[in-house]
Amino acid sequence: MLPRLERVVEHFVSNDNTQRTKGRMAGPRWKQVIEKALEKNGKENVFQLATHSSTSPFPQVRCLIFRAFLQTPSNPSNPLLITTTDVRTPKAREMVENPWVQLVWWHDDTKEQYRISGWAGVVPAPGHALEKAFKEAIEGKGGAEAGVVKGRGSAVRDGGLRKVGVGEGGHDWESYRREVFSTMSGHMKATWARPQAPSGDLDGEYELMKGWPERIGEGKEGEDKEFYEKALGNFGLVVVDPIEVEVVELGVVPNRRRKFVLRGEDEWDVVEVVP
């Protein structure tokens, strides 16, 4: 029996930027720092995520909205960061090809910067081509290569994703994906139902987009149902499994920078570095 979402998600930032805090588990120090900042201002929920591209020399960076920490009784020391995306975007492919990511997140209210390095997985609809990569990486099969950082062992093996698991006895990712989807606004849902993949070439036909759905309702019947199903099919979770977290505090004098590094399964070493 899997724990219900309310119990496993510690900190959920909903679509209207309000926060819900349920059944809080303490977790590592760095997570508590982020939560404190979110409590102060939950609207500061946008981070920038960098991925690798196999077709470009440039790091690929974009803004994403932090949705939740996923922390279950299986991963009390390795909370996962959850965000959402359209599985058709380049970033989804990039994370499957090379799951090593880094994100940076500035909180103006607390004057803190978080830089999180780790492994990222994409949770698509069941049967989607990207599903296999997620499962295999967590199970330590196809992801063996992807899951190894030089000199650091396997982050997937050591980190939270492996502990949370997939399949029999693991986390029910599909229920979780659907539950997160259900919290999205009608406007957001419509973005996943658009006919062309995000970042696709519009061939200069900007006007074309005026015919695309703007909002999706409950998906009960007719065209709304059709769009709802399409959106749910393109909707994916992005899961970031941190192995290094750097916290810079510019609100204290002297400024402070601490690096939290995952050691072994569930211990975080902390190193003070010059800011």
Ligand X SMILES: Cc1cc2nc3c(=O)[nH]c(=O)nc-3n(C[C@H](O)[C@H](O)[C@H](O)COP(=O)(O)O)c2cc1C
Give CA separation, 114 vs 19, 168, 181, 185, in Å.
Answer: 19, 34, 26, 28
Choose among 110, 105, 132: nearest CA to 121. 132
Q: Which of 88-96, 173-181, 206-214, 259-267 is the region at the interface with ligand X (rule: CB under 6 A)?
A: 88-96
Smaller CB separation from ligand X, 153 or 198: 198
Q: To the nearest 10°, report the CA torsion of 101, 102, 107, 111.
A: 170
- Work out how close the CB of 144 gets to ligand X at its nearest, in angstroms, rounded to a whole number: 26
Of the pair 238, 245, the CB lying nearest ligand X is at 238
Name which position in 72, 75, 78, 83 contacts ligand X (CB under 6 A).
Answer: 83
Considering beta carbons, is residue 77 or 191 the nearer one to ligand X? 191
Residue 212, SS3 per DSSP:
coil
Residue 158 beta carbon to ligand X: minimum distance, rounded to whole angstroms: 27
Give the nearer residue to ligand X in terms of CB position, either 97 or 265.
97
d(CA 182, CA 189): 9
Half-sphere exposure of 96 (CA within 13 A, CB side): 20
Closest contact distance (angstroms) between CB of 105 and ligand X is 12
Taking CB under 6 A as the binding criterion, the range among 58-66, 97-105, 177-185, 212-220 that sits at the site for ligand X is 58-66
Q: Is 41 in the site for ligand X (CB under 6 A)?
A: no
Place of tokens 């939290």: 260
The answer to whether 245 and 103 have CB atoms below 8 angstroms apart is: no
Write down the number of H helices and E strands in the chain: 10, 13
Which residue in the set 17, 32, 185, 199 belongs to the binding site for ligand X (CB under 6 A)?
A: 199
Q: Which of 84, 102, 110, 234 binds ligand X (CB under 6 A)?
A: 84
Q: Give the residue among 12, 6, 23, 17 at the shortest CA–CA distance from 80.
A: 12
- Closest approach of ligand X to the CB of residue 237, in Å: 10
Name the residues that contact ligand X, by CB under 6 A.
46, 60, 62-65, 83-86, 89-91, 198-199
